[in-house]
Amino acid sequence: MQHTLGRPFRVVGVGLRGGRPAAVEVRPAAVGTGRVFVVDGVAIPATVEHVVDTRLATTLGRAGARVSLVEHLSAALYAGGVDNVEIHVEGGEIPVLDGSARLWSLAIRQAGLVPQGVPQRIVAVREPIEVRRDDAWARFEPADHFELDLTIAFDHPTIGVQRYTGAATGASFYTELAWARTFGFFRDAEPLRALGIALGASLDNTVVYDDLGVMNPAGLRAADEAVRHKALDAVGDAALLGAPIRGRFTAYRAGHALHLALLRRLAEHAA
């Protein structure tokens, strides 16, 4: 069945891209609404058709309105089984919070779910679908549930090659992925700031790697936190299909752009 929230909740913080105050109020919504962001009175459905930017984060837009960093909240809503919800955004960004989806998942759990008595539309992967760019690739294959198999590879002594395999929704998301924080490299900080990007990034919300290791005083939450965050991002991007997926998502060195290219292919097959 479709579900919505038991009650609304509000979260405030700072935007990762612009570094300005940001807030959202997440409200229950009627059957068939889907997950919809509302920015300056403009409703932006959280679907692949409305993705306008994938640099560092997934940004949605419609009719001149935009909202960035939707993937962490989208992942928590998707994994938490919330089908219909309105997300009213102040500041043009979703608050980055601690750089993970943990606080979003907690807020959803506290709000609770309400069944709405109407079946979900489910997209089942019937045959392999793949996209490639250079040495990176992403693929969907048939499976009974939504599963992940992601590998990342960075020329860095603390990251190297990491792989995550496992379920991607429900309790598994909360215990295995929700707490993993976004990450970046110190060498990229100034170039990004010069472009007006990542102005809100700090050691409070981003795992930052210098040439030798991790700069955050408390270190990592797990040795493979980087790949787990990439898996979190993949769940958030998968949510933009607008329906639960039955299929195995496998990827190597993929990011938001490749995720969305694959999801668009899947949407074409499901139409």
Question: Residue 9 pLDDT more than 70?
Answer: yes
Same domain, 134 and 266: yes
Q: Supply the pTM of this predicted model.
A: 0.96
Tell me what pLDDT residue 167 has. Answer: 86
Task: Give the model confidence (pLDDT) of 76-98 as tens digits.
Answer: 999 999 999 999 999 999 999 99
- Tell me the average pLDDT across 16-30: 95
Of 78, 96, 115, the residue that ends a domain is: 115
Same domain, 90 and 138: no
Tell me what pLDDT residue 28 has. Answer: 98
By residue range, what is the domain housing residue 244? 123-270
Same domain, 89 and 133: no
Torsion of CA 81, 85, 90, 93, to 10 degrees: 40
Same domain, 79 and 142: no
Same domain, 139 and 52: no
d(CA 134, CA 86): 38
Same domain, 142 and 246: yes
Of 115, 141, 164, the residue that ends a domain is: 115
Tell me what pLDDT residue 197 has. Answer: 83
Q: Tell me what percent of the residues of the chain surpass a pLDDT of 70.
A: 100
Tell me what pLDDT residue 269 has. Answer: 79
What is the tally of structural domains in the chain?
A: 2
Same domain, 87 and 160: no
Same domain, 67 and 41: yes
Question: Residue 270 pLDDT more than 80?
Answer: no
Tell me what pLDDT residue 260 has. Answer: 95
Query: What CATH number has the domain bearing residue 33?
Result: 3.30.230.20
Question: Residue 191, exposed/middle/buried by CB under 10 A (0-12, 13-18, 19+)?
Answer: exposed
Task: Give the model confidence (pLDDT) of 185-227 as tens digits.
Answer: 999 999 988 888 889 999 999 999 999 999 999 999 999 999 9
Q: Which residues have a Cβ under 8 Å from the Cβ of 247 and sit 6 or more positions away?
A: 123, 124, 125, 140, 141, 142, 143, 146, 147, 266
Same domain, 148 and 176: yes
Question: Residue 68 pLDDT more than 90?
Answer: yes
Beta strands in the chain (DSSP E): 3-5, 9-14, 21-28, 35-39, 42-45, 51-53, 59-62, 65-67, 85-90, 113-115, 123-124, 129-133, 136-141, 146-154, 160-167, 183-185, 207-209, 245-252
Tell me what pLDDT residue 169 has. Answer: 87
Is residue 72 part of the annotated active site? The answer reads no
Tell me what pLDDT residue 271 has. Answer: 56
User: pLDDT: is 195 or 141 the higher one?
Assistant: 141
Same domain, 188 and 227: yes
Beta strands in 122-232 (DSSP E): 123-124, 129-133, 136-141, 146-154, 160-167, 183-185, 207-209
- Tell me the average pLDDT across 134-141: 96
- Tell me the average pLDDT across 141-164: 96
Same domain, 20 and 138: no
Of 76, 92, 115, the residue that ends a domain is: 115
Q: Which of 50, 229, 256, 259 is catalytic?
A: 256
Query: What CATH number has the domain bearing residue 152?
Result: 3.30.1700.10
Q: What is the mean pLDDT of the chain?
A: 95
Same domain, 264 and 142: yes
Question: Residue 149, exposed/middle/buried by CB under 10 A (0-12, 13-18, 19+)?
Answer: middle
